[in-house]
Structure 1
Amino acid sequence: MEDNRNLILATGLSMLVILVWFVLFPPPEPVEDPNATPISEQVGADPGSADMAVAPPAADDIADPSAAMDPAEMTEVALEEAARLVIETPAVEGTISLLGGRIDDLSLRNYDETLDPDSEIVRLLSPVGTAEPYYALYGWAPGGDLGFDQVPGAETPWTVEEGDALTPDSPVVLRWENGDGLIFRRVIEIDDDFMFTVTQSVENTGEAEARLAPYGIVARHGLPEDLQNFFILHEGVVRKVDGQLDELAYDDLPDLDMIAREGTPAEVVDVLENGWIGFTDKYWMTTLIPGAGQAFTSVTKYVAGADIYQTEARMPAMSVAPGQTAEMTTQLFAGAKEWETIREYQNEGGVDRFVDSIDWGWFYFLTKPMFWLLHNLNLLIGNMGLAIIALTLIVKAVLFPLAYKSYVSMAKMRELQPEMEKLKERAGDDREALQRGMMELYKKNKVNPASGCLPILLQIPIFFSLYKVIFVTLELRHAPFFGWLNDLSAPDPSSIFNLYGLLPYAAPEPGTIMALIFIGILPLLLGVSMWLQQKLNPQPTDPTQAAIFAWLPWVFMFMLGSFASGLLVYWIANNTITFIQQYTIMRSQGYKPDVFGNIRSSFKRKKSDS
Structure 2
Amino acid sequence: MDWQKNLLIAAILATLLMLVIRWHEFQEQLPAPAAVASQTSSSAATGSVPVSSSEIPVAANESTETAKADLAATQLITVKTDSFELTINPLGGDIVQLALPRHFLKLDTPDQPFVLLDNRNNHTYLAQSGLIGANGTDTAAGRPLFRSEQQQYELTEGQNELVVDLHLQQGEVKITKRFTFTRGDYLIKVDYLIDNQSANNWSAQLYGQIKRDSQNFVKVSALEMNPYLGAAITTPDEKYKKITFADMAENEIKTSVQGGWIAMVQHYFVSAWIPDAGSSNNYHLRKLGNNDMYLMGFTGKVNEVAPGTQGVISASFYAGPKDTERLEEISPYLDLTVDYGWLWWVAKPLFWVLKFIHNLVGNWGLAIIGLTLCVKLLFFKLSATSYKSMAKMRKLAPKMAEMKERYGDDRQKFSQEMMKMYKTEKVNPFGGCLPLLIQMPVFLALYYVLMESVELRHSPFFGWIMDLSVKDPYFVLPIIYGITMYFMQKLNPQPTDPMQARIMQMLPFLFTFMFLWFPAGLVLYWVTNNTLSIAQQYIITKQIDAEPSAK
Query: Given the two structures, how large is their TM-score scaled by the length of structure 2?
Result: 0.82
1:253 aligns to 2:241 (yes or no): no
**Cα deviation, residue 208, structure 1:** 4.4
In 2, Cα distance between equivalents of 1:78 and 1:126: 19
Q: 1:382 to 1:60 in 2, by over 3 A?
A: farther
1:458 aligns to 2:456 (yes or no): no
Name the count of aligned residue pairs.
Answer: 501
**Cα deviation, residue 416, structure 1:** 2.5
**Cα deviation, residue 554, structure 1:** 1.2
1:160 aligns to 2:145 (yes or no): no
Aligned 1:54-69 pairs, distance under 5 A: 55-57=55-57
Q: 1:283 to 1:549 in 2, by over 3 A?
A: closer
In 2, Cα distance between equivalents of 1:429 and 1:563: 44
Match of 2:234 in 1: 240
In 1, Cα distance between equivalents of 2:62 and 2:327: 31
Q: Which SS does the other structure have where 2:218 is aligned?
A: coil
In 2, Cα distance between equivalents of 1:456 and 1:352: 35
1:113 aligns to 2:101 (yes or no): no
- Once the two structures are overlaid, the 10-residue window that deviates more, 170-179 or 365-374, is 170-179
Aligned 1:123-272 pairs, distance under 5 A: 123-127=115-119, 129-143=120-134, 148=139, 155-160=143-148, 165=153, 167=155, 168-179=160-171, 181-192=172-183, 193-226=185-218, 233-242=227-236, 244-256=239-251, 266-271=252-257
Q: Give the aligned residue type for 1:491.
A: K
Aligned 1:342-421 pairs, distance under 5 A: 342-343=327-328, 345-346=329-330, 351-421=331-401
1:539 aligns to 2:534 (yes or no): no
Q: 1:235 to 1:316 in 2, by over 3 A?
A: same
Q: 1:483 to 1:147 in 2, by over 3 A?
A: closer
Q: 1:78 to 1:218 in 2, by over 3 A?
A: farther
In 2, Cα distance between equivalents of 1:409 and 1:207: 86
In 1, Cα distance between equivalents of 2:86 and 2:152: 14
Alignment match of 2:448 (pick from 468, 490, 493): 468
Match of 2:459 in 1: 479
1:423 aligns to 2:423 (yes or no): no
1:571 aligns to 2:530 (yes or no): no
Q: Which SS does the other structure have where 1:148 is aligned?
A: coil
Q: Give the aligned residue type for 2:516.
A: G
Match of 2:416 in 1: 436
Aligned 1:562-601 pairs, distance under 5 A: 562-591=517-546
Structure 1, unaligned runs of 5 or more:
20-52, 67-76, 257-265, 495-519, 593-610
Q: Which SS does the other structure have where 1:483 is aligned?
A: coil
In 2, Cα distance between equivalents of 1:554 and 1:105: 46
**Residues 585-610 of structure 1: CA distance to partner in whole angstroms, max 9, x if unpaired?**
11122349xxxxxxxxxxxxxxxxxx
In 2, Cα distance between equivalents of 1:555 and 1:145: 62
Alignment match of 2:282 (pick from 291, 297, 301): 297
1:525 aligns to 2:450 (yes or no): no
Match of 1:69 in 2: none
8 A contact 1:82–1:98 mirrored in 2: no
In 2, Cα distance between equivalents of 1:147 and 1:8: 65
**Cα deviation, residue 420, structure 1:** 2.7
In 1, Cα distance between equivalents of 2:293 and 2:226: 25
In 2, Cα distance between equivalents of 1:78 and 1:540: 74
Q: Which SS does the other structure have where 1:171 is aligned?
A: strand
In 2, Cα distance between equivalents of 1:145 and 1:479: 47
In 2, Cα distance between equivalents of 1:210 and 1:549: 74
Q: Give the aligned residue type for 1:10.
A: L
Identity, in percent, stands at: 33
Q: Give the aligned residue type for 2:250.
A: D
Q: 1:433 to 1:58 in 2, by over 3 A?
A: farther
**Cα deviation, residue 88, structure 1:** 2.8
Match of 1:596 in 2: none
In 2, Cα distance between equivalents of 1:303 and 1:8: 51
In 2, Cα distance between equivalents of 1:410 and 1:200: 68
Aligned 1:315-326 pairs, distance under 5 A: 315-326=300-311
In 2, Cα distance between equivalents of 1:88 and 1:432: 77
**Cα deviation, residue 16, structure 1:** 8.1
- Once the two structures are overlaid, the 10-residue window that deviates more, 89-98 or 436-445, is 89-98
1:330 aligns to 2:330 (yes or no): no
Q: 1:341 to 1:244 in 2, by over 3 A?
A: closer
8 A contact 1:102–1:137 mirrored in 2: yes
**Cα deviation, residue 207, structure 1:** 4.2
Q: Which SS does the other structure have where 1:362 is aligned?
A: helix
In 2, Cα distance between equivalents of 1:146 and 1:565: 51
In 2, Cα distance between equivalents of 1:425 and 1:194: 69
**Cα deviation, residue 577, structure 1:** 1.4
In 2, Cα distance between equivalents of 1:583 and 1:59: 75
Query: Given the two structures, how large is their TM-score scaled by the length of structure 1?
Result: 0.74
8 A contact 1:166–1:172 mirrored in 2: no
Match of 1:98 in 2: 90
Q: Which SS does the other structure have where 1:416 is aligned?
A: helix
**Cα deviation, residue 276, structure 1:** 0.5
**Cα deviation, residue 434, structure 1:** 1.7
Q: 1:108 to 1:88 in 2, by over 3 A?
A: same
Structure 2, unaligned runs of 5 or more:
18-52
In 2, Cα distance between equivalents of 1:134 and 1:200: 23
Q: 1:398 to 1:209 in 2, by over 3 A?
A: closer
Q: Give the aligned residue type for 2:244.
A: A
**Cα deviation, residue 551, structure 1:** 2.2
**Cα deviation, residue 17, structure 1:** 11
In 2, Cα distance between equivalents of 1:204 and 1:80: 26
**Residues 450-487 of structure 1: CA distance to partner in whole angstroms, max 9, x if unpaired?**
10002321332223222212222201111212222212
